[in-house]
Amino acid sequence: MFTNAIVRAPSRTFAEGLTTAGLGRPDLDTTFAQHADYCAALEQCGLRLTRLESDDRFPDATFVEDTAILTDRVAILTNPGAPSRQGEVAAVRDALMEFYPSLEAVSAPGTVDGGDVCQAGEHFFIGRSHRTNEAGALEIGDLLTRHGYTSTTVDIRDIPPLLHLKSGLTALDGGRLVLIEALAGHPAFRGYETIPVAADELYAANCVQVNDRVLVAAGFPRIQEALRDRGYSLIVLDVSEFRKMDGGLSCLSLRF
């Protein structure tokens, strides 16, 4: 069960962040409204929110998930792979010090984005991406091993639409994985029950289980139906403006 989440309001410079989506410029008022709805959904799931101030120097800082990996046993600050995002970690570190007695950290030359690290029970899938480099993936794997977890690395560099591993993968309760087809044949996922994502609903592969609810992006009816059929209770959220900046539902919070 999660009891807390860290979120960070989008800054006025949000539209200057990194993106490859080609979906146009986000509208700031809509962005703020969608973020408020997202925060309300987390509270509806029973989480107490720690809200970090926005900072105009960091347009991508609302995507807090990339700055840390939080588990029951350890909190790890990342070193984000995009240089423009590395300064985001400081505020998250300060917030986490209230909750964790000690913090681990990925150190250069290792780079890791939290969006590449997916927890499925006691096991972690670590994406080797254009953001998470070899040294970073190894460092995360070692830290997790030291705390009693197992991990496997999944190279996603040849799967062009994926910025992060969790752009194409979500782990749900009971060892179920929501998975895009391009990842489905990877040996790391053998033995798991998977919920496939249709080719025209790829963006919806990034959903988030928060206690007994699953947050899902609006506009993707087939994955919603597949999840409802399996008994999940959904909260559907419009995150169109975050999608324009390559972000999804999971990126907008750190849950613990």
Residue numbers of the site for ligand CIR (CB under 6 A)?
17-19, 60, 63, 65-66, 82, 85, 115, 163-164, 167, 245-248, 251
Among all residues, whose Cβ is closest to ligand CIR? Answer: 115
Tell me how far apart the alpha carbons of residues 234 and 121 are, in angstroms, rounded to a whole number.
Answer: 21
To ligand CIR, the closest distance from the beta carbon of 191 in angstroms equals 26
Question: Whose Cβ is closer to ligand CIR: residue 75's or residue 233's?
Answer: 75
For the CB of residue 31, give the shortest distance to ligand CIR in the complex, in Å: 12
Q: Please tell me whether the peptide bond between 26 and the residue prior to it is cis, using omega within 30 degrees of 0.
A: no
C-alpha triplet 154, 38, 153: angle, nearest 5°: 5
Q: How far apart are CA 225 and CA 111, in angstroms?
A: 37
Shortest Cβ 231–ligand CIR spacing (Å): 27
Distance of closest approach, residue 26 Cβ to ligand CIR, in angstroms:
10
User: What amino acid occupies position 173?
Assistant: D
Specify the residue, 117 or 172, whose C-beta has the smaller distance to ligand CIR.
117
Of 101 and 165, CB closest to ligand CIR: 165
Catalytic residues: 164, 251
Residue 165 or 214 with smaller CB distance to ligand CIR: 165
